[in-house]
Structure 1
Amino acid sequence: MVQSTPTTFNGFGKSARERLEDYVIRAGSKAELMTALTPDASTREYFRIPWQRRTAVAAVYPEPFDPEVHPFLDVTRLFAAAGLPIPEILDVVALQGIIVQEDLGDRQLRHVFATASVEEAESYTERAICLIADIQAATTRAAERNSIASRLAFDEAKLSWELDYFIKHYFTSYRRQELKHGEEAELRVEMNDLAADLSARPRVLCHRDFHSSNLMVDRANRLRVVDYQDARMGPATYDLVSLLLDRQLEPPSLAEVRERRLYFLEERQARGLSAIDPDDFAHEFRLMAVQRCLKAAGTFSYQTAVAGRGHLYEQFIRPMLRIVVQSAGWLDRFPALQTLLRGGLISQK
């Protein structure tokens, strides 16, 4: 039976931990065995909780929700139907804002890469790229199911919002830099052009945050996908850019990126997806690298300067901006952006 969600909500009156403690006690387990997990840039709170004879992970949301239209549950149903390797949903208590899911452990692919051999890292990367192709192969299924992911898109408005977010939080919040009127005007013209170019590209189903912190290596050494609730339609390069470039302290070489792009195109075709010209794909990849890395830098700037999480995120800002400058240079576009970012990179040395 689906629990209805109130039309107005004035707060739970209890913290996320207190609500979850009540849930755990009602289930006959010990609340003192709960462990808070480090959240990413999210309004959700995560806990590891006792579950029968094992453990589970509980996501606690700030408000109650309708499970029929909840983005995470909607995309879970879509991804599960497509055979994608996601955690199993164990329980949903919508009126308390709680979703309990399979515990995949703590081995993020990002951490596994740190100690993996060259051969192991290559294998994991190729498997991750195959998962992107699998997600794109579910594009038609998303539309057939009328999933929320098929009704959201990286359209011009969404891409522009993310670029505006970067301008606000990198220059104003993080650097405390007031752009001159002419500088900001030129920058916004370039950002509008970037958003327009990318929004006009053919769209496929995207995870939206397909970086190595959102890929778990489970106890059987299988890759599992998490944090997919923001899935939406976007350029075919989107998730590949995120996997290869997002949160990289040292970006991969040009040769490696080219090899990964070609491998991905082969995997797309192996799944019966339409062929994409490699040169056209490379051009889109560079455009997408500019937008995605600016978006990431904006998020990391906010988390550092506003949310007080600089110990987690500040280290990624500079590498993201170096990738932006490099990609814009290859495209021979966005001179105002390049000038402003180069000035910031020099002053931060």
Structure 2
Amino acid sequence: MQNIENIVMQSRAATNFLGNDFTIFRMAGDASSREYFRILYPTKQTCTMMLLPQEASSLAEEYESKTIQMQELPFLDVHRLLQSKNVRVPEIYAVDLPSRIILLEDLGDTPLIEKLSDTPESYLMAALELLACVVNPHPETDMSSIAFSRAFDQDLYMWEFEHYLEYGIEKIIEYKDTDVAKIRELFFEITQTYLSWSTHLTHRDYHSKNIHVIDHDQLALIDFQDALQGPIYYDLVSLLKDAYTTFDRSLQEKLVTSYQSLLDPSLEDALISQDEFLFRFDLMSLHRNLKAAGRFVYIDQVKNNPNYLKDVPQALQYAIETLNLHSQLKGLKNTLQPYLQKLIEEV
């Protein structure tokens, strides 16, 4: 911890805000290379310090399909974008990029996931209302943001599907080359369907640990630096088919229908049938859930962090449910589902 204190003390931007008398506590992190600390300073108030990694990361610390010249740290860029759309995000108090420090408003210790055990529907509905603010047009939107310069494209979709094939099948369970080739072919076909949909501002990791419940049950959004253009269903899936939570199908369907009603009528997705909207939600979930499962195995095998393996079964159960809900997916189900079951048993 002494090294962290030295970093802060050597930052003029930080000490101008904090003074020289403060206490630092490490906060629980996530799977990223960023580190987080809570700082208690002389007024007995607190703030959060984000310590950036030594080297700049890519779009999502995983893959980016093209090089984008960044004029500003994506976190700061997307923060300004979300504020322009009246989305609640933590205030920024101080920035010292040479010292890798960003001081932020402390949003407390209550992520949305902790509120979902008793009355999930009301909190999830509030999260969908927040998501609608992200997606719907707003006259003050900062269109210069990097989030409008990058998007889910064929390369990114297929890289994430391949991530599942590599770490969800090839590196962990026995398989037939012909099966993997068939699955890859069907993933490519699904990707073409994704590419036919309209795109909108997408958080890219809109799950219940990245939404905080603050004063008077207001919701605030974090971890938004990877925002890009993507299908409207991606963030919806991230929330309602999150690997960290389990929701009944009936509740999912009710909330998906409610979310469609929150969309601005100018958006194409607001005008399609409820059945088609729900099918797109499910089809998008295959990508999100399989990518998550593969990523969790990767974090275990490559980063030596097994903490996420416990969430693999839920991600795959959602995928199995989707394969069994829609007859259009029968071909993929016949080949893929046995491998999903094997991975559940393996982890």
Letter of the 1:299 partner, please give it: R
Q: 1:105 is matched with which residue?
A: 108
1:209/1:228 contact within 8 Å kept: yes
Q: 1:323 is matched with which residue?
A: 318
Cα separation, 1, equivalents of 2:178 and 2:319: 21
Cα separation, 2, equivalents of 1:16 and 1:62: 13
Q: 1:43 is matched with which residue?
A: 33
Query: What is the Cα deviation at residue 181 of structure 1?
Result: 1.8
Q: 2:263 is matched with which residue?
A: 268
Q: 2:66 is matched with which residue?
A: none
Cα separation, 2, equivalents of 1:181 and 1:139: 49
Task: Report SS of the residue matched to 1:40.
Answer: coil
Q: 1:303 is matched with which residue?
A: 299
1:282-307 Cα offsets, whole Å, 9 max, x none, are 11111111111011112211223332
Q: Cα gap change, 1:337/1:17 in structure 2, threshold over 3 Å: closer, same or farther? A: farther
Alignment of structure 1 residues 1-349 onto 2, 5 Å: 18-23=6-11, 27-30=18-21, 33-51=23-41, 53=43, 54-63=45-54, 68-114=71-117, 117-118=118-119, 121-138=120-137, 145-173=143-171, 176-250=172-246, 252-269=247-264, 273=267, 274-311=270-307, 313-332=308-327, 333=329, 334=332, 335-345=334-344, 347-348=345-346
Q: Cα gap change, 1:56/1:67 in structure 2, threshold over 3 Å: closer, same or farther? A: farther
Cα separation, 2, equivalents of 1:319 and 1:111: 18
Q: 1:8 is matched with which residue?
A: none
**TM (normalized to structure 1)?**
0.85
Q: Cα gap change, 1:268/1:191 in structure 2, threshold over 3 Å: closer, same or farther? A: same
1:201/1:235 contact within 8 Å kept: yes
Deviates more, 1:255-264 or 1:333-342: 333-342
Letter of the 1:222 partner, please give it: Q
Cα separation, 2, equivalents of 1:40 and 1:111: 16
Query: What is the Cα deviation at residue 68 of structure 1?
Result: 4.7
Query: What is the Cα deviation at residue 18 of structure 1?
Result: 4.4
Cα separation, 1, equivalents of 2:204 and 2:3: 29
Query: What is the Cα deviation at residue 177 of structure 1?
Result: 2.4
Cα separation, 1, equivalents of 2:155 and 2:108: 37
Task: Report SS of the residue matched to 1:34.
Answer: strand
Q: 1:7 is matched with which residue?
A: none
1:255-281 Cα offsets, whole Å, 9 max, x none, are 211111110011114x76442321211
> How many residues in Structure 1 have an aligned counterpart in Structure 2?
324
Deviates more, 1:57-66 or 1:241-250: 57-66
1:67/1:73 contact within 8 Å kept: no
Q: Cα gap change, 1:89/1:67 in structure 2, threshold over 3 Å: closer, same or farther? A: farther
Cα separation, 1, equivalents of 2:139 and 2:319: 32
Query: What is the Cα deviation at residue 21 of structure 1?
Result: 5.0
Query: What is the Cα deviation at residue 113 of structure 1?
Result: 2.1
Query: What is the Cα deviation at residue 151 of structure 1?
Result: 1.2
2:201/2:227 contact within 8 Å kept: yes
Q: Cα gap change, 1:308/1:255 in structure 2, threshold over 3 Å: closer, same or farther? A: same
Structure 1: which 5+ residue stretches go unaligned? 1-13
Query: What is the Cα deviation at residue 63 of structure 1?
Result: 3.7
Q: Cα gap change, 1:67/1:204 in structure 2, threshold over 3 Å: closer, same or farther? A: closer
Cα separation, 1, equivalents of 2:89 and 2:335: 42
1:29/1:50 contact within 8 Å kept: no
Cα separation, 2, equivalents of 1:102 and 1:197: 40
1:289/1:324 contact within 8 Å kept: yes
**TM (normalized to structure 2)?**
0.85
1:76-128 Cα offsets, whole Å, 9 max, x none, are 000001110100011110111211110001111111223xx33xx32211110
Q: 1:11 is matched with which residue?
A: none
Cα separation, 1, equivalents of 2:42 and 2:153: 44
Cα separation, 2, equivalents of 1:140 and 1:163: 36
Letter of the 1:156 partner, please give it: Q
Cα separation, 1, equivalents of 2:93 and 2:232: 32
Task: Report SS of the residue matched to 1:59.
Answer: strand
Q: Cα gap change, 1:124/1:183 in structure 2, threshold over 3 Å: closer, same or farther? A: same
Query: What is the Cα deviation at residue 216 of structure 1?
Result: 0.5
Aligned CA RMSD, in angstroms, stands at 2.5
